[in-house]
Amino acid sequence: MTDSQPTRAQRREATAARILEAAQEEFGTHGDGATIRGIARRAGVDPSLVLQHYGSKQALFALAVRPVDDLDHDDVPRHLEEVLDVRLHELPAPTRALLRSMLTSPQAAEVMSTYLQERAATLAATMDDEQAATRAALVVSSIMGVTIARHFLDLPGLADASGSDLAELVERWLEPGPDRPARQG
């Protein structure tokens, strides 16, 4: 075999990657209603190969919707701006699939819950006050709400908003309370 021809292992790996990418697109479009046949068709493979590589639709779903850990621990405000820009303008297929399925699939709900808990805990660790966990949960859940409102509900005002505009508004949630006006009540 010449150096220019891929090995069997490389071809197998490329097929698995194509199937996973097709699954992300199918789950993103159809949620839990995606089918093995639809995934196979999109990947250009026989349906039996999908099962051979991933075992079951549920196992493939778990991999396809797995969130990417992209939190920059050193610059939280800049990171939040980047996340908001992505959530407003480009929704990755795994994220679309997970959001579409989380209310109807216990497996998707568990994946999302775990992911959000991890993100909130990481964000809270960058804050230094007694309400850090609550403020971090508020920021993380708000970003999820912005994502749903923008991509699934077409809420006016979000289509043209930039991540930096929203990050500026959200930044207040990251600051501890002493410089805020006291609550009336």
* CATH (domain of 34): 1.10.10.60
Check: CB of residue 59 under 8 Å from CB of residue 51.
no
Both tokens of 173, joined, read 């949630």
Q: Note whether 103 and 160 are same-domain residues.
A: yes
In this prediction, residue 3 carries a pLDDT of 64
* Cα distances (Å, whole numbers) of residue 94 to 128, 161, 163: 33, 23, 20
Q: For residue 113, what is the enclosing H or E element?
A: helix 106-124
18 domain residue, yes or no: yes
Q: Could you tell me how far CA 169 lies from the centroid of its own chain?
A: 22
Counting the structural domains of the chain, the total is 2
184 domain residue, yes or no: no
Report d(CA 107, CA 122) in Å as an integer. 23
172 domain residue, yes or no: yes
Q: Note whether 82 and 144 are same-domain residues.
A: yes
Task: Provide the phi-psi class of 19: left if phi over 0, else alpha when psi is between -120 and 50, else beta.
Answer: alpha
Q: Note whether 89 and 150 are same-domain residues.
A: yes
Report d(CA 100, CA 151) in Å as an integer. 10
In this prediction, residue 36 carries a pLDDT of 93
Q: Note whether 31 and 104 are same-domain residues.
A: no
Q: Note whether 81 and 131 are same-domain residues.
A: yes
Q: Note whether 86 and 52 are same-domain residues.
A: no
Last residue of a domain, one of 39, 64, 89: 64
In this prediction, residue 183 carries a pLDDT of 40
In this prediction, residue 185 carries a pLDDT of 40
| Per-block mean pLDDT, blocks of 10 residues, the chain (185 long) | 76 88 85 88 93 86 68 61 70 78 82 84 83 87 84 79 70 57 42
Q: Note whether 81 and 59 are same-domain residues.
A: no
In this prediction, residue 48 carries a pLDDT of 92
Q: Note whether 57 and 84 are same-domain residues.
A: no
Q: Note whether 83 and 127 are same-domain residues.
A: yes
2 domain residue, yes or no: no
147 domain residue, yes or no: yes
In this prediction, residue 43 carries a pLDDT of 94
Q: Note whether 44 and 17 are same-domain residues.
A: yes
HSE at residue 47, side-chain half, CA atoms within 13 A, is 7
| Residue 134 one-letter amino acid | T
Q: Which residue range(s) make up the domain with 47?
A: 8-64
Q: Note whether 84 and 58 are same-domain residues.
A: no
Hey, how many other C-beta atoms are within 10 angstroms of the C-beta on 63?
14
Q: Torsion angle of alpha carbons 31, 99, 166, 114, nearest 10°?
A: -150
Check: CB of residue 160 under 8 Å from CB of residue 97.
no
Q: Note whether 57 and 97 are same-domain residues.
A: no
136 domain residue, yes or no: yes
Check: CB of residue 121 under 8 Å from CB of residue 89.
no
3 domain residue, yes or no: no
